[in-house]
């Protein structure tokens, strides 16, 4: 079970990821979660720092698609001003949104990275698709109601990882 939800890497934020690092991994595309991955779940628009990061990735030819379990209005409000493609109501960890994103980018799974803040949705779905998975530290300390349930389960996973001596971003 743990293997299915474990990311390949833990990073503090998307800003730890550079085009050079992605290129070294053979990554040409990113599927990213929105809430608490790119911005706080209760923030509507991208920060200037995030816009700069998105522009850097775009200039390097790295495609980005948002896959969010949130509704169309929420995701579109964020995505349109920064000109990102998106899949709302993605139903992660189900595979349909991941398959749709790969098709839209016209890339193979080994060329795509999933960035998210939740093991049970983002990592589980992406690992099932054999994508390179990156778990970021949530950008907000608070969560929506459903996410709170996932976080309780994740705390148990972190205890297990600590017991086994497996480092996460909490130890970095």
What digits encode the pLDDT tens for the residues 47-76? 999 999 999 999 999 999 999 999 999 999
Domain coordinates of the chain in residue numbers?
Answer: 2-164
For the chain, the straight-line distance linking the first and the last C-alpha, in angstroms and rounded, comes to 24
pLDDT tens by residue, the chain, 172 residues: 578 888 999 999 999 999 999 999 999 999 999 999 999 988 889 999 999 999 999 999 999 999 999 999 999 999 999 999 999 999 999 999 999 999 999 999 999 999 999 988 999 999 999 999 999 998 877 555 566 666 667 777 777 777 777 767 655 4
Read off the pTM. Answer: 0.86
Helix (H/G/I), strand (E/B), else coil: 68: coil
**Count of other CB atoms within 10 angstroms of residue 10:** 20
**Count of other CB atoms within 10 angstroms of residue 156:** 9
Q: What's residue 170's pLDDT?
A: 57
- Token pair for 135: 């778990």
Domain 2-164 architecture: 3-Layer(aba) Sandwich (3.40)
């Amino acid at each position: 079970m743990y293997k299915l939800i474990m990311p390949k890497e833990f990073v503090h934020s998307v800003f730890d990821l550079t085009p050079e690092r992605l290129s070294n991994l053979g990554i040409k595309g990113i599927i990213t979660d929105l809430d608490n991955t790119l911005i706080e779940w209760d923030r509507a628009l991208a920060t200037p720092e995030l816009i700069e990061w998105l522009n850097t990735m775009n200039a390097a030819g790295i495609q980005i698609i948002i896959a969010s379990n949130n509704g169309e209005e929420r995701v579109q409000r964020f995505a349109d001003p920064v000109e990102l493609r998106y899949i709302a109501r993605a139903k992660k960890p189900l595979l349909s949104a991941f398959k749709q994103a790969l098709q839209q980018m016209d890339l193979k799974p080994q060329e795509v990275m999933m960035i998210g803040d939740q093991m049970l949705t983002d990592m589980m779905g992406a690992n099932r698709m054999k994508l390179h998975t990156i778990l970021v530290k949530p950008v907000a300390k608070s969560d929506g109601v459903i996410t709170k349930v996932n976080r309780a389960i994740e705390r148990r996973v972190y205890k297990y990882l600590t017991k086994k001596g497996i480092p996460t971003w909490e130890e970095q």
